Amino acid sequence: MDFQLSDDQRALRSGMRDLLGAVFDRDRMRAAVERGGALDRALWRELGAAGFFALRLPEEDGGVGLGLPEAVLLFEEAGRALLPGPLVATHLAAGRVKGAAEGAAVVTAADGDRPVAHLAEADAVLAGGGPLDGEALRAFVAAARPVRSMDPLTPLHLPPPEPVAGGPGRVAFAPGRVAGPAASAPGRAPAYAGRLRYEAALLSAAEQLGSAARTTEMAVQHARERQQFGAPIGSFQAVKHLCADMLARTEPARAAVYAAAVTGDPLEIAAAELLADEAAVRNARDCLQIHGGMGFTWEADVHLHLKRAWLRAATGLTEAEAEEELAAGLGAAPPRSGSSAAYGPGRSQAGGGA
């Protein structure tokens, strides 16, 4: 099997990079930071019009008809650009929540007890009992509590505790006893089940990969331009080693993420998540180190990559969960129920994968 990107896949990636460069350049990113991470609905619709959310929907359903390998390429570019918003949840909600595919709706995810991103702006919330919207969503939002986020581009809310009975057909969330329809109460169930859990983890890993690649580029560029003792700091051995280590983390993570996108194997996705999380966090820290004192300043963008990498690593399939997945899969075992063969037809295997 040819694992090189096809010409169409390269064009897709290049097109997304050009689009994000036009609609979410550094000035717009900084403007989003200043407004506390509030989503730009026009940008969200722009992404929808470009097929970002409907990429894997069948063409007969109004989608693009591509597969997980192509989605990974788009999410890698999103991570590279520090694109804010619940991208993974809205992408996975396409075809399940009205308006998600077109970017007309913002969909986030309530994953058990973990903080929920962009809850105040969401039109729907993916939860264990199904998507929350309407009165149930308003009740959930009213009962949630805003918490400080390490990432200035990702506002967070702590979800309410498990719902308690509030009468026939209704539910009351403990904080404030806010009532609403009980049909889709999320409780503490995970947002995604089955293959969607692994797809969400892989798309998050792709974002981490994009961030790792971008911080590597930022570090190398700074090392070339910054002069110290009459020479670029990139000529110093210690700085060379840091940059080389960043690349040596990024490329194995890229290979793992691309391969997992082709196979859809849960264990390969868990391994890709581990490698991508490590690359994103450690590369951002090394990039900050290479930037020196200016790397710690608010005006530099390095800290934004580090904070987003930290936040992603703490959500979705965490390091501990991924390690448990891999440990459970050690040794001889029958074919896993979550493997690509069990996903059924429609999985993208063409074009050499991503």
DSSP 171-204: EEETGGGEEEE-TT--TT--S--THHHHHHHHHH
SS3 (DSSP) at 159:
coil
DSSP run (H or E) holding 224? helix 195-225
pTM as predicted: 0.86
- pLDDT higher for 343 or 188? 188
* pLDDT per residue as tens digits for the range 13-56: 999 999 999 999 999 999 999 998 889 999 999 999 999 999 99
Q: What is the CA radius of gyration of the chain?
A: 21
Average pLDDT over residues 335-349: 45
Could you count the other beta carbons within 10 Å of the beta carbon of residue 333? Answer: 9
Instruction: Check if the beta carbon of residue 132 is closer than 8 Å to that of residue 124.
Output: yes
DSSP state string for 235-251:
GSHHHHHHHHHHHHHHH
b/e per residue, 177-189, with b = 16+ CB within 10 A? ebbbbbebbbbeb
* pLDDT per residue as tens digits for the range 65-94: 999 999 999 999 999 999 999 999 999 999
pLDDT of 342 strictly over 60: no
pLDDT of 97 strictly over 70: yes
* pLDDT per residue as tens digits for the range 147-177: 999 999 999 999 987 653 333 333 444 443 3
Specify the pLDDT at position 170.
39
Cα–chain center distance at 237? 34
